Homo-oligomer: A and B are copies of this chain.
């Protein structure tokens, strides 16, 4: 895993990890742990650095596949398993969550309850280990091994020699366990509980395993490599919180101050780091400082946090530049629906009824609050408030909640909130008020406004009644209507746009009923515009590169005038052509555009 990246020269992230490792390779303070011979025999020059992204990509630099015993880095994961088995409240009844200000092997217990201070010191970890579900020590050990393997995304094994040594030399831990048994915070057979704990510490992992395990916590409990959910999101959150305040023993405050990422270190020289929503890191370098943390491991975490500005307490404030697409649209924005003049005039007369607010970037508390403010400053006349989410990235819970509250609040004030959202986050709006793009959202608002004004945008408009013909008399109108062909398109049928080479030289399209849409792309459903009853279209409405196909969105009746038809009309009823040439098409277009000769 990751080795192929390491070998490829062209990977800037691996290169950055390499740089970090290179800068620290000469840092040769400290000594490997030596309280058991197995740890003392390790090569002190081993140095590995791995990072696992939340989609499972593993980056590796140095000795990232060398196995070592997980030791105290197991504590957050076994805490997570205990939380999964009993829930936070029951676990907290047996072990605290306060930094003790003391070393990893502190014997201080809470005065009244006898609880160890937190699950990250040895005493607390012995208790959480004893809380993992299972009938007897073997079953519990098996569940712990299975759980750690699920976090790592591969089957892990126990180093039996280390286990035997730990068990034989664990005086201090044995003392802690008996003290807690005496205080009532550790129940059951003390030696059995200790065996489970020592086995847990003796599980073999690699630097890459640690990166994946911490990425699983950072990603809310889902292993990014296997895709399996290992623990619930709330339990992953609990574990990270306890790592943040207690993970580095009596240097936890300093760690939060200077590194600012939840972490856990172990006596074999490993440090694991998890940045919520971003990544997991594993570092391995055996020499330890006096508090029992890897010297290079600490330095590497400092460098990474500094260099990348990854501190949890950094304030990334959104840019203030009033970019037009991010602000409230001051002018009325119209959909690209072709409409007859009567509807256009009605909409033009009420530009104050529909407002569009365009959002960009991730939606968090800050952006949602700004949207609420924009909505509060809406003029009273606004009845449709369109939120364009098409440029939005991830949406945090708080933002969805606030926008939902906004939608409800606006409704009580007689304003509808309408979403343009290709991701269809229907949590925020009633489905009826949500559309996949801004064009459709605006069309719906305009249709609503027209209905309010007594106009039915879907009512058929026969060609004879259309506003193109102005005050033409009945004879001229009849001649005009005669000159047009009829094209019936059932819903879902597509035709080539008139811009296409073999279009039959249609110079004017008129929609009597139904709806047409022009799609920019035949694969996706990106609509350029649509046209309802009463709309008249010239070839200029079918721009060459944006009109791949014309789709009948409903059963549609079109009337079409070809260049030949126009020539015949010019010969037989010239005043009819004059009427057409004066016809008020949209966008200052006139038919003479289409009839250029």
Contact = CB atoms under 8 A, between A and B. Distances in A.
B402 A13 contact: yes
Contact of A278 (B13, B309, B366, B546): B366
Contacts of A566: 596-597
Tallying the copies of this chain within the complex gives 2
B98 A13 contact: no
A217 B219 CA distance: 27
Interface residues of A, number: 128
A254 B115 CA distance: 14
B245 A315 contact: no
A493 interface: no
A471 interface: no
A475 interface: no
Interface stretch (A141-149, A175-183, A477-485, A499-507): A499-507
Contacts of A10: 376, 409, 412-413
A596 B507 contact: yes
Nearest to A412: B10
A158 interface: no
A251 interface: yes
A277 B364 CA distance: 10
A370 B544 contact: no
A542 interface: yes
Contact of A254 (B98, B278, B279, B409): B98
B321 A277 contact: no
A257 B372 contact: no
Nearest to A236: B315
A590 B505 CA distance: 11
Contacts of A100: 101
A54 interface: yes
Contact of A317 (B54, B252, B587): B54
Interface in A542-597: 542-546, 563, 566-567, 586-590, 592-597
Interface string A205-235: 0000000000000111110000000000100
A443 interface: no
A455 to B, nearest CB: 22
A30 interface: no
Interface stretch (A33-41, A196-204, A387-395, A426-434): A387-395
Most buried by B among A252, A314, A319, A408: A314
B401 A308 contact: yes
A106 to B, nearest CB: 10
Interface in A161-194: none
B365 A310 contact: yes
Nearest to A422: B323
A460 interface: no
B391 A391 contact: yes
Interface in A236-265: 236-238, 240-242, 244-246, 250-254, 256-258, 260, 262
A238 to B, nearest CB: 6
Contacts of A590: 501
Nearest to A499: B540
A405 interface: yes
Contacts of A221: 315
A381 interface: no
A328 interface: no
Nearest to A16: B405
A365 B305 CA distance: 12
Nearest to A242: B257
Interface string A383-422: 0000000011110111001100110110011000000001
Nearest to A587: B544
Q: Which 10 A-B pairs have the closest CB atoms?
A: A361-B393, A597-B597, A309-B397, A220-B315, A544-B587, A543-B543, A308-B398, A12-B405, A240-B313, A98-B253
9 contacts: A11-B376, A222-B317, A244-B313, A275-B365, A316-B396, A499-B587, A539-B540, A541-B543, A597-B597
Interface of A: 5, 8, 10-13, 15-16, 53-55, 57, 88, 96-102, 117-118, 218-222, 233, 236-238, 240-242, 244-246, 250-254, 256-258, 260, 262, 275-279, 307-321, 323-324, 336, 360-362, 364-367, 369-370, 372-373, 376, 391-394, 396-398, 401-402, 405-406, 408-409, 412-413, 422-423, 499-501, 505, 507, 524, 538-546, 563, 566-567, 586-590, 592-597
